[in-house]
Amino acid sequence: MRSPAYPVTDDHIHIDPVNGRGVEAAKDFLRAGGTHLFLVSKPSWSLGVLPSTGADYTRVFDETLRVAELVQETGLTVFPVLGVHPAEINRLTERMPLAEATSVMKAGLDCAATYVREGKAVALKSGRPHYEVSPELLAASNEVLAHALQLAAGCNCALQIHAESGPCVDVVEMAGVVHMPIERVVKHYGSPDTPLHPSLIAKHDALPQLIREHRRFTMESDYMDENSRPGAVIGPKSVPRFTNHLVASGQMTVDDCFFVHAETVEKVYGVTVQLK
């Protein structure tokens, strides 16, 4: 295959060979011009795992790494991101008290951090519910998020967070307490008004303006790869498609592509992005 003229990185995608299209979805990304992707672990329930200890997340993370290897065989570069989905708090509290659920989620993150330390994953994932919850649940979720920030700081890795829409200004202070650099706290499904690093959905209206202003951001599809939810968010080709469209319409130069899809990715995650 002819090597692409510029890198195209999807900052947040799921590939699920069990419940979705699996490697075929990754091949769509590749054929559309994608080169690198951050493969994010799926929530435990989507794999039928009912965790009651942190070690129970091993099954979820090992599955993510198995899929990463399959996808890597297509020629794509895969960066695994492991963590505990913030909505797990609702699932867990159906089966156990809130204090125990909080401990299980923190222990799940501890487990994810061991993979980062071993070099098997590049970043952690956490957050807090993006929907309305009770003050108790929100406080517990913030405790889990604070733990994730501390782990990421200790592992010297980036942290993707899934949280309510808007800037999440309070996370700046939470990160400061544990000396976690905010430019390595990635707001998944982010907006340009966040002081954290914004990972913007590929079709975001603000992209041309941010490119003109030379602002740092990354692009994501948040493709779920679940056959039961076709078209949920957008498809696996969306990051290359929107990038190629911006280039073709003169709103993004090849230099801009290297800035967004390589240099910024390297700065945030500490990985190397090279064209093969």
Q: Which spans of this chain sit near Zn ion (rule: CB under 5 A)? A: 222
User: Would you call 224 helix, strand, or coil by DSSP?
Assistant: coil
**Of residues 220 and 256, the one with the C-beta less far from Zn ion:** 220
Length of the chain, in residues: 276
Contact 83, 41 (CB under 8 A): yes
CB of 179 to Zn ion, least distance (A): 27
CA–CA separation, 31 vs 33, rounded Å?
A: 5
Which residue shows structure tokens 């091993």? 58
CB of 40 to Zn ion, least distance (A): 5
The amino acid at residue 153 is A
**Of residues 18 and 178, the one with the C-beta less far from Zn ion:** 18
Contact 128, 148 (CB under 8 A): no
CB of 37 to Zn ion, least distance (A): 12
CA–CA separation, 30 vs 203, rounded Å?
A: 18
**Of residues 201 and 211, the one with the C-beta less far from Zn ion:** 201
Residue number of the CB closest to Zn ion reads 222
User: Would you call 165 helix, strand, or coil by DSSP?
Assistant: coil
**Of residues 16 and 256, the one with the C-beta less far from Zn ion:** 16
CB of 33 to Zn ion, least distance (A): 21
